Amino acid sequence: MAPATASLISAYATGYSHDLLTNTLLATRAPVLVCPAMHTEMWDHPAVQDNLQLLKRRGVVIVDPEDGRLAGGDIGSGRLASTERILTQVEHLLSSSSSSPQRDFSGLNVLVTAGGTREPIDPVRFIGNRSSGKQGHALAEEAHARGAVVTLITTTQLPTSPAIISVAVDTAQQMHDAVMSRSSTADVIFMAAAVADFTPSQIATQKLKKRDGAPKLELHSTVDILAALGSCKSEMQTLVGFAAETRDVQLNAEQKLREKHADLLVVNDVAAPGVGFEFDTNEVVILSATAEHQFVPMTDKRSIAAAVLDAVLSTRMAQQLAPSLGE
Ligand code: CTP
């Protein structure tokens, strides 16, 4: 139900069926998702919150509203959740039902990194990059929808399905520690994050002041997480790297695939229109250490994720590692 008003939520909670919608709610055996939308004062009212708790206890999924501009022009909490968040929850409900068509990642533990790391300069400034994390999140959602147990190590606040184990990190070092402490149990690792290559050697404890002049930043190299994973990769593991290039795309990517001992490397030319960072679309080449390279033409990031997962399964089949063959 989107949008679900305070009145509709109250009727549903008490079982009051007076029209087609409330009759259907009482009659259905299907999972139900409720997306409340109302004024802040109504949303905060204990009667509304108690009704929602009651519905939750009965197994109804509530997609909480967001803060923002409301129908009356005022600003506060109670704004209907974004379409993206609602669809993520719908997808999760459908994928956890037995009718989900493709469960070819069942039995696999998948680790995904997403977003750009932030390297602090002082308490308010950092060195960052333009990665949005959308491709990494799409990979996590796709792997989850196809039956994997997914851990997502992310620098972003993007919504995720509740069943995905989400670990928040900020810096390259934190991402390294989070990945390395979980990597030994992962069957497939997607390093989709844009990890900073350099980080400030000193972090100022107080905000740097303009009046003191431009600071001289000394940087040192971060650990290359993908290379570290590649150097201790087990035979059961499939390691997938990502690369955003602006020139000599294929040449640079082939070098990274080789040097970091990845099984697959997904490369995009971020100088091309509609490709990479903030866009919802992407166009990639999936390079393989053992098979033909595959071009995936411009499409949405979820479809790119599906193609990358297909390539992982082909690689694992070739190595006799697919769940149905070896595990
Ligand atoms: N990567 C990583 N740790 C780093 C840097 C990169 O794990 N410190 C991973 C990325 O997550 C990605 C792959 O390595 O999967 C390639 O990242 P990219 O930034 O394209 O390559 P670099 O090796 O950093 O080389 P360059 O920036 O010079 O192109």
Amino acid at 93: L
Cα(237)–Cα(255) distance, integer angstroms: 21
Q: From the alpha carbon of 241, which atom of ligand 1 is closest?
A: 15
Higher model confidence: residue 276 or residue 306? 306
The rounded Å distance from CA 181 to ligand 1 centre is 19
Q: In a mutational test of the pocket of ligand 1, which residue from 155, 226, 255, 260 has the highest number of ligand atoms less than 8 Å from its CB?
A: 226
Tokens found for residue 173: 């070092």
Counting ligand 1 atoms within 8 A of each CB, the residue from 195, 249, 257, 287 with the most, and so the one to mutate, is: 195
pLDDT score recorded for residue 97: 56
**Mean pLDDT taken over the chain:** 91
Side-chain-side CA neighbours of residue 313 (13 Å): 19
Predicted confidence band of residue 219 (pLDDT cuts 50, 70, 90): very high
pLDDT bin (cut points 50, 70, 90) of residue 106 is very high
pLDDT over 80 at 103, yes or no = yes
Q: How many CA atoms lie within 13 A of 231 on its CB side?
A: 8
278 vs 200, residue with greater confidence: 200
Q: What residues act catalytically?
A: 129
- Cα separation, 268 vs 253, in Å, equals 9
Pick the range with the lowest mean pLDDT from 148-157, 265-274, 289-298.
265-274
CA 294–ligand 1 middle distance (angstroms): 21
Stretch 297-324: mean pLDDT: 88
Total residues belonging to the chain: 327
Residues with CB under 6 A from ligand 1: 172, 191, 193, 195, 197, 222, 224-226, 241-244, 256
Does pLDDT of 175 surpass 80? yes
Q: Which protein residue has the closest C-alpha to ligand 1 atom 16? A: 243
213 phi-psi bin (left φ>0, alpha ψ -120 to 50, beta other): left
Question: From the CA of 61, how far away is ligand 1's center (Å)?
Answer: 39
Q: Does residue 326 carry a pLDDT above 50?
A: no
Q: Specify whether the CB–CB gap between 48 and 8 falls below 8 A.
A: no
Residue type, 81: A
Ligand 1 atom with least separation from CA of 229? 7
Encode the chain in three state secondary structure.
Answer: CCCECHHHHHHHHHCCCCCHHHHHHHHCCCCCEECECCCHHHHHCHHHHHHHHHHHHCCCEECCCEEEECCCCCEEEEECCCHHHHHHHHHHHHHCCCCCCCCCCCCCEEEEEECECCEECCCCCEECCCCCCHHHHHHHHHHHHCCCEEEEEECCCCCCCCCCEEEECCCHHHHHHHHHCCHHHCCEEEECCECCCEEECCCCCCCCCHHHCCCCCCEEECCCHHHHHHHCCCCCCEEEEEEEECCCHHHHHHHHHHHCCCCEEEEEECCCCCCCCCCCEEEEEEEECCCCCEEEEEEEHHHHHHHHHHHHHHHHHHCCCCHHHHC
Distance CA 290, CA 111 (A): 22
Q: Which pTM was predicted?
A: 0.75
Residue 96 is predicted with a pLDDT of 62
Which residue do the tokens 């992982």 mark?
A: 312
Residue 187 contacts residue 110 (beta carbons within 8 Å): yes
Quick check: 324 pLDDT over 60? no
Considering only CA atoms, which of 231, 235, 255, 232 is closest in space to residue 245? 255
Do residues 98 and 175 touch, judged by C-beta distance below 8 A?
no
**Phi, psi (5° rounding) for residue 114?**
-145, 150
Could you tell me the end-to-end alpha-carbon distance of the chain, in angstroms, rounded to an integer?
41
Give, to the nearest 10 degrees, the angle between helix 6-14 and helix 20-27. 40
CB 121 within 8 A of CB 216: no
312, 318 in Cβ contact below 8 A? no
Q: What is the mean pLDDT of residues 111-118?
A: 98
> Average pLDDT of 27-54?
92
